[in-house]
Chain A
Amino acid sequence: AQKITQTQPGMFVQEKEAVTLDCTYDTSDPSYGLFWYKQPSSGEMIFLIYQGSYDQQNATEGRYSLNFQKARKSANLVISASQLGDSAMYFCASSGSARQLTFGSGTQLTVLP
C-alpha cells in the first residue's frame, strides 16, 4: 500500500521567487515512482515531473525540480521563478507494484503579483 502526505493545504509565493511544496510518502514496494501534477482552476490534470526510486539524480523539468530524499521519504517539488500562471492545486502521487497512482490531498499555490 502507498500513502502520500501533503501537509500544506495552501501556500503563497511572490512572483519570480522560488517555492517548495512538501510531499512525504510511505510505501513497502522496493521500486516505486513519484509524480507531481498540477490542477489549475479549469480542472485538468497536468503532468509535471517524475522521479524513479532508483534514479541517482533529482529530476528536473524546466522550472520544476524534484528534491528527492529517499532516507527521509520525501519528494518535494521546487518551482523556481514563480509565475502568475503557476497558481493552481498541486498533487503529489506515487506508484509501485500496483500500477495505479496514489494521490495526496494537494496544496493550493497562489502566486502574488
Chain B
Amino acid sequence: NAGVMQNPRHLVRRRGQEARLRCSPMKGHSHVYWYRQLPEEGLKFMVYLQKENIIDESGMPKERFSAEFPKEGPSILRIQQVVRGDSAAYFCASSLRTSGSYEQYFGPGTRLTVT
C-alpha cells in the first residue's frame, strides 16, 4: 500500500535550466496538491489539480511555473529557466474526498537546489 511517491528526491539544476518534479498520488486518490517550502518557513500552497484539470492555481508564480495531472501517469510540476530563488523543498500531497474530512497525505518532497 504505497504512499505518495515523489521523484527525484534531490535535484540540482544550474540557473536557466528546467526542473521537472513528479508526483504519484496514493492509490485511489484523484486530488493532488503542490506546496513549496522555503528554508526555515512553513509550506505554501501552489496548485491544486484533479485528473486532467487545474482546479486552483492561485499560489503559482505567474511565470515559469506550470503543473499538470494527466489522465495516465504522475502529476508534473515544471519550472522553466530556474533561478536561485527557486531553491526549496517541493511537496506533493494527495487526498481522496472532496468534502468533509479529507486528510492530505504528503510525499517525501523533492529538494531542488539551483546553482
Interface residues of A (CB under 8 A from B): 33, 35, 37, 43-47, 50, 52, 91, 93, 95, 98-106
Within 8 A of A (CB), among B26-84: 31, 33, 35, 41-45, 48, 55-56, 58-59
Binding site for A on B (CB under 8 A): 31, 33, 35, 41-45, 48, 55-56, 58-59, 89, 91, 93, 95, 98, 100-109, 111
Smallest Cβ distance from A73 to chain B, in angstroms? Answer: 18
Selected from B31, B33, B45, B108, the residue in CB contact (under 8 A) with A43 is B108
9 A-B residue contacts at CB 8 Å?
A: A35-B104, A43-B109, A44-B108, A47-B104, A99-B55, A99-B56, A99-B95, A101-B33, A104-B42
- Known contacts A43-B109, A98-B56, A100-B56; is A105 also within 8 Å of B41 by CB? yes
Q: How far is the CA of A35 from the CA of B35 in the complex (A)?
A: 16
A93 to B93, CA, bound (A): 14
**Contact yes or no, A37 B111, CB < 8 A:** no
